[in-house]
Amino acid sequence: MDRRRPATLIRGAAALRVTTTDHGARHREARHLEPIANSQQPGRARTRWGVAAVGVGAMAVGGGVAAGRALRRWGANEADLARVLPGDGLVTPSNYDVTYAVTVAAPPGDIWPWLMQLGDGRGGLYSYDWLDRAFGFLHGPSATDLLPGYDDLAPGDAIPLGRGASFPVLEVDHERALLLGDPERGWTWCFALADLGEGRTRLISRNHGRMPWLVKAWLAPAVLVMTRRMLLNLRGRAEHLAAERAAAVEEAELIAMGLEAV
């Protein structure tokens, strides 16, 4: 009689091989599998959990790297980062250096007027107005049209910010760069326009700062959120202005052609 040992090992499926004899009889022959003791199960479970933990950790690190990259250079390409802009080197030492950028389907001349009217009681800040108003930086919504009389910023001027400290104007390079800041207090903010030709412009924002790390940890995400919205809103306004001007030119050409025909 066939005696089988008690099942003290983990069951495994046996691979069966079917052979046929000369008499047509079939015999099944079980392939031997190495037994796996019950005591090894916890080890395998720990291995699986370890692999999962490594995977989750890698995802977290990857997400953190992506977030850190966005905080430092949202929208900016290598050319933007390599570009020397007004304000570079004025804050020394600096522990906060960020560059953000967008491409605008408009020439620099259609972006520049919006920068010239920055400020409370002027054109606004073009970001999340409800937040800027909640913090007291603005008393009204940002302008969606160009306002007369706000195109003459000059070094030494101060852009008003409601209850906040004003932005000192350090440098104005017509249709190229606007530099704000106070290097002695450890900050500069430059808006630069890089003409790409064919009615396209890179709008670049660059900040340099020196601050305690706790302030930096709180400020960096807020600056990204607000500046990103500001650049996108400036892009929308400039592209709308460019489209209006193109339409006006086209209409004038059609009128001129009609007059010539008469």
**Closest by Cα among 111, 103, 43, 114 to 75:** 103
Does residue 62 belong to any structural domain of this protein?
no
Burial state string for 157-175 with b = 16 or more CB within 10 A and e = fewer than 16: bebbbbeeeebbbbbbeeb
| Domain-embedded: residue 236 | yes
Query: Of 227, 247, 246, nearest to 109 (Cα)?
Result: 246
CA angle 188, 189, 193 (to 5 degrees): 140
Provide the residue type at 10 as one letter: I
Question: For the chain, how many structural domains are there in total?
Answer: 1
Record the pTM. Answer: 0.73
261 domain-assigned: no
Predicted confidence (pLDDT) per residue in 121-131, tens digit: 999 999 999 99
Question: Looking at the predicted structure, is the pLDDT value of residue 241 above 50?
Answer: yes
Q: Does a structural domain hold residue 184?
A: yes
Which CATH number fits the domain that encloses residue 95? 3.30.530.20
Distance between CA atoms of residues 147 and 151, nearest Å: 9
Q: Which two tokens mark 231?
A: 């650049």
In a domain, 142, yes or no: yes
- 49 in a structural domain: no
- pLDDT, tens only, 122-157: 999 999 999 999 999 999 999 999 999 998 899 999
pLDDT given for residue 56 in this prediction: 37
The average confidence (pLDDT) of the chain is 81
Instruction: Please report whether residue 60 resides in a domain.
Output: no
Task: Say if 9 falls within a structural domain.
Answer: no
- Render pLDDT for 176-222 as a digit per residue (tens, 0 to 9): 999 999 999 999 999 999 999 999 999 999 999 999 999 999 999 99
Going by pLDDT thresholds of 50, 70 and 90, the confidence category of residue 227 is very high
- Domain residues for the domain of 140 are 73-251
Tens of pLDDT along 66-89?
Answer: 577 789 999 999 999 999 999 999
